[in-house]
């Protein structure tokens, strides 16, 4: 059993839950015109940290597993599921990670609370859409699909 993959699979739930929490909180704050609270800052920080840990685990899996070796043999030689994990999943998740970091930085630099909530919604919202699209959910194509929870 690959314990790194099990942890990576479980941690996706923390990323998804914290991302949804941050985005829904930003929507609620925009609609109610409430101030940017310490709780908003903490959930965005925890979302970013969970993304950082997830990226670190993903990079370890990528470079110690078969995906990087398959990529070295050429993208054209990869089948659909190999291409998904070797290219699409990896690249898009790194883009999502960058958006989370850029977004958090932009929120810190915002002049007022309304801007902070809007920037949270925009950057974290786009990142969350990418993350949700690139997770190998059980309903994805065969070879790509993974279970809702890892099998022990």
Contact residues for 45 (Cβ-Cβ < 8 A; gap 6+): 104
**pTM of the shown model:** 0.91
Rounded to whole angstroms, the Cα distance separating 135 from 149 reads 12
pLDDT tens by residue, the chain, 152 residues: 688 889 999 999 999 999 999 999 999 999 999 999 999 999 999 999 999 999 999 999 988 877 777 777 666 667 888 888 888 999 999 999 999 999 999 999 999 999 999 999 999 999 999 999 999 999 998 888 888 988 76
Give the Cα separation of 100 and 87 in Å (integer). 20
- Residue for token digits 């022990």? 152
Tokens in use for 44? 């965005």
Name the CA radius of gyration of the chain, rounded. Answer: 17
Domain borders along the chain are 3-134
């Amino acid at each position: 059993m690959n314990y790194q993959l099990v942890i990576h699979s479980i941690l996706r739930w923390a990323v998804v839950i914290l991302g949804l929490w941050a985005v829904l909180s930003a929507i609620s704050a925009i609609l109610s015109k409430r101030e940017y609270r310490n709780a908003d800052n903490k959930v965005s920080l925890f979302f970013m940290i969970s993304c950082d840990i997830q990226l670190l685990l993903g990079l370890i899996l990528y470079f110690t597993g078969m995906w990087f070796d398959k990529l070295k043999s050429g993208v054209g030689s990869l089948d659909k599921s190999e291409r998904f994990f070797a290219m699409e999943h990896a690249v898009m998740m790194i883009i999502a990670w960058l958006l989370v970091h850029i977004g958090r930085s932009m929120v810190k630099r915002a002049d007022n609370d309304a801007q902070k909530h809007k920037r949270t919604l925009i950057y974290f919202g786009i990142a969350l859409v990418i993350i949700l699209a690139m997770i190998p959910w059980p309903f994805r194509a065969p070879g790509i699909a993974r279970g809702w929870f890892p099998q022990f």
